[in-house]
Amino acid sequence: MQNNQAALILAADNSPLQVGQGPYQSYPAADEVVVQVAAVAINPSEWKMKEFGYLPLKYPHVLGSDVAGTVVKVGEEVKRFNAGDRVIGHCLGLLYGGAKHRGFQNFTTLREAVTAPIPDAVRFEDAVVLPLAISTASVGLFGHLKFRLPSAEPVDGHGDGGGQRHRDKVVLIWGAASSRGSVAVQLAVAAGYGVVTTASAKNHDYVRGLIPDGGKNVAVFDYRRPNAAGNIIDRIKVRGWKFVGAYDCIGLEESTRACAEVVHAFGGGILPSVLWPPQDLPSDVEASVVHAIRPGTVAGSPGSRVWREYLPQALANGSLRPRPEPEIVGSGLDKIEGALNLHKAGEPILIVKFNRKWRFCGSAKDAASD
């Protein structure tokens, strides 16, 4: 894989990406797999890193966190994968392994810990929305909040599934229509918890549709309504639910403050957020930043167990749904620059590649939308 083309950042000046020779991918470490990329997803961190350079990079550099594709080579200690397997993976290169471990290239190297098989019935361009969202959601729910791990047994129409259910215990997930929130809602329900969540009114049906039972275990509030946090507090109290935590999947100041208001109303506690929280939250609210890299770097962590023990079965039996759904929007490695700009302008984008020809697709619901 020496002839590996990539969309490169050549310098810290926000100049357009250039298609050129990417990192050699022929020699995976013992716990790594090399994947021929079929699809990648655009995330906010990528255009922000290109534009603002908030972490030091070694140039030329490659961006991209979410990939789906086909295994072409495995390290000597890898037992779960073989050449030809269809997989998704979370690229860790921003903080682990550098450009070799990034997604915007023909071939990439993944750590086995954050690689999972996908069934033949699931398209690459559908599955690629999941990797970073899986890591982020699992660290917040099962690392920071220490919830029980999810079961991959499907939830039926009565809200029952595998393992012990905790439907009287509810978690607040702020931002359910984002990619992270869509996964967090499904993971929380799979772990047996009820969910109170937020989305704009136009996305309420989408959020309820994340769960096979039609949202029986999910209560959705419009975050744009006045006093949304107060309305959530009132609903929890009236229903007699036991509040067990909140997770801010948006990370804006207003979303973190709203979550903190709810956490404070029920006695305080830990509040994981995907971005750095404001400093003047109630004293009994301990806000903490979610580091999505942990499943790929901390052996035996809750997130790594979700990747290894839950995700393969959940994708195989359909109990975890890849969401949001993608749309095709263009073709060519040289179009990644435009895709980043579209995402910055508010359109979430996926980039799909087949037989060395790239196609781009976007989703109507993602990240900082609603």
CATH number for the domain that contains residue 16: 3.90.180.10
Task: Mark whether 146 and 211 lie in a shared domain.
Answer: yes
Has residue 319 been placed in a domain? Answer: no
Is residue 92 in some structural domain? yes
**Cα maximum dimension of the chain:** 62
**Dihedral pair phi/psi, residue 253, rounded to 5°:** -60, -45
pLDDT of 353 reads 54
Distance separating alpha carbons of residues 166 and 159, to the nearest angstrom: 10
Q: Is residue 153 located within the same domain as residue 224? A: yes
Question: Tokens at residue 257, please?
Answer: 């403050």
When divided into structural domains, the chain yields a total of 2
The predicted structure's pLDDT at residue 140:
98
Pairing of strands 326-331, 357-363: antiparallel
Specify the pLDDT at position 364: 34
pLDDT tens-place values along the chain, 370 residues long: 668 999 999 988 888 999 999 999 989 999 999 999 998 998 888 888 888 877 778 899 999 999 999 999 999 999 999 999 999 999 998 788 899 999 999 999 999 999 999 999 999 999 999 999 999 999 999 999 999 999 998 655 434 444 445 668 999 999 999 999 999 999 999 999 999 999 999 999 999 999 887 667 899 999 999 999 999 999 999 999 999 999 999 999 999 999 999 999 999 999 999 999 999 999 999 999 999 999 999 999 999 999 999 999 999 999 999 998 876 666 677 878 888 888 888 876 566 554 444 444 444 333 333 4
1 CB-near residues (< 8 Å, 6+ apart): 24, 25, 26, 34, 72, 73, 106, 107
150 and 244 assigned to the same domain: yes
pLDDT, position 344: 84
Question: Could you tell me if 145 and 277 lie in one domain?
Answer: yes
Give residue for tokens 């033949």: 120
Structure tokens at 81: 């994968």
For 140, the domain range is: 133-292
Contacts 24+ apart (CB under 8 A), 159-167: 159/213, 159/216, 159/217, 161/190, 161/192, 161/319, 163/192, 164/192, 165/192, 166/191, 166/192, 166/193, 166/194, 166/244, 167/192, 167/193, 167/194, 167/217
The whole-number pLDDT of residue 352 equals 54
